[in-house]
C-alpha cells in the first residue's frame, strides 16, 4: 500500500525559497511538481494551504493532477488540518513540514516526518527538471554525520542506529 504524504504547502514553499513571486503561481508550480512526484513514486499526496484569514467559511478540497489540495477554512490554520490528518492516518502517513508543532504532533501519532528542505532535496534528486523550488543553501555540501567524541567505541564510519533507521525509511521516498 502506498504511503499517504501530507505536505504543509506554505512551509514547503518557504523552505524551498520559492515564495518570491506571485503566491498563486508558486502554489500552482508546487502542485505540478508534487503531481510529477506522485506519478513517479505512486504515493497518495495531500497538500494543505492556509485559508484561516482570507479563506472560505468551509474547508475547500479539490483534486488537481492526482494531488488532493486542501485549503483550511476561515479561522482554522493549516497546522490544525495537518495534525487532524496525521491523527486520522497514523503510521500510514508521512508529514512534510518544518513546523515544530506539526512535527511533534505527527510523531506522537506514529507518522514519519520529513523536513521541508529534506523533501525539496528529494524532489530535486528524483527529477532534475524540477527547478521550481530553488534553494542555494542546499547546494552546499554539508556533512550531516554526527561528530563522535574520543570516548566512543565502535566503528567510527558507521552511523548511529537511529540515523540508519531513518535513512531506511527515507529511501521509500
C-alpha span between 120 and 49 (Å, rounded) = 17
pLDDT of residue 106 exceeding 50: yes
> Poorest-confidence range of 38-42, 55-59, 85-89?
55-59
- Residue 123: its pLDDT value, please? 81
User: Which is higher by pLDDT, 51 or 74?
Assistant: 74
- Residue 128: its pLDDT value, please? 53
Q: Give the position of cell 497514523.
A: 90
- Residue 155: its pLDDT value, please? 81
Using an 8 Å Cβ cutoff, are 133 and 120 in contact?
Answer: yes
| Cell, residue 23 | 503566491
- Residue 146: its pLDDT value, please? 61
Using an 8 Å Cβ cutoff, are 37 and 45 in contact?
Answer: yes
Q: Compute the 3-state secondary structure of the chain and give helix, strand, coil in percent, each to the nearest 5.
A: 45, 15, 40
Q: Work out the average pLDDT over 19-29.
A: 79
Neighbours of 75 (CB within 10 A): 11
Q: Work out the average pLDDT over 108-115.
A: 92
CA-CA distances (angstroms) from residue 76 to 4, 82, 105? 22, 11, 16
Q: Work out the average pLDDT over 145-172.
A: 79
pLDDT of residue 51 exceeding 80: no
Main-chain dihedrals φ then ψ at residue 135, nearest 5 degrees: -150, 110
Query: What percent of the chain has a predicted confidence (pLDDT) above 90?
Result: 33
- Residue 142: its pLDDT value, please? 52
Instruction: Write b or e for each residue in 14-40: b if 16 or more Cβ atoms lie within 10 A of its Cβ, otherwise e.
Output: ebbebeeeeeeebbebbbebbbbbbee
Look at the chain and count its residues.
Answer: 173
Domains in the chain, ordered, with CATH? 4-136 (3.40.50)
pTM, two decimal places: 0.74
Using an 8 Å Cβ cutoff, are 50 and 72 in contact?
Answer: yes
pLDDT of residue 67 exceeding 50: yes
Strand order in the sheet with 112-114: 60-64, 67-71, 44-49, 4-8, 93-96, 112-114
Using an 8 Å Cβ cutoff, are 82 and 47 in contact?
Answer: no
Mean pLDDT of the chain: 81
Amino acid at each position: 500500500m502506498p504511503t499517504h504524504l501530507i505536505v504543509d504547502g506554505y512551509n514547503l514553499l518557504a523552505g524551498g525559497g520559492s515564495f518570491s513571486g506571485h503566491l498563486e503561481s508558486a502554489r500552482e508550480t508546487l502542485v505540478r511538481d508534487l503531481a510529477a512526484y506522485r506519478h513517479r513514486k505512486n504515493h497518495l499526496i495531500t497538500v494543505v494551504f492556509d485559508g484561516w484569514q482570507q479563506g472560505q467559511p468551509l474547508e475547500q478540497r479539490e483534486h488537481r493532477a492526482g494531488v488532493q489540495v486542501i485549503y483550511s477554512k476561515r479561522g482554522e490554520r493549516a497546522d490544525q488540518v495537518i495534525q487532524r490528518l496525521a491523527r486520522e492516518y497514523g503510521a500510514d502517513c508521512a508529514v512534510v513540514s518544518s513546523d515544530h508543532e506539526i512535527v511533534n504532533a505527527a510523531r506522537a501519532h506514529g507518522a514519519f516526518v520529513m523536513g521541508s528542505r529534506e523533501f525539496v532535496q528529494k524532489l530535486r534528486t528524483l527529477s532534475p527538471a524540477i527547478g521550481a523550488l530553488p534553494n542555494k543553501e542546499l547546494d552546499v555540501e554539508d556533512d550531516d554525520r554526527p561528530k563522535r567524541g574520543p570516548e566512543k567505541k565502535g566503528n567510527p564510519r558507521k552511523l548511529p542506529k537511529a540515523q540508519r533507521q531513518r535513512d531506511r525509511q527515507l529511501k521509500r521516498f
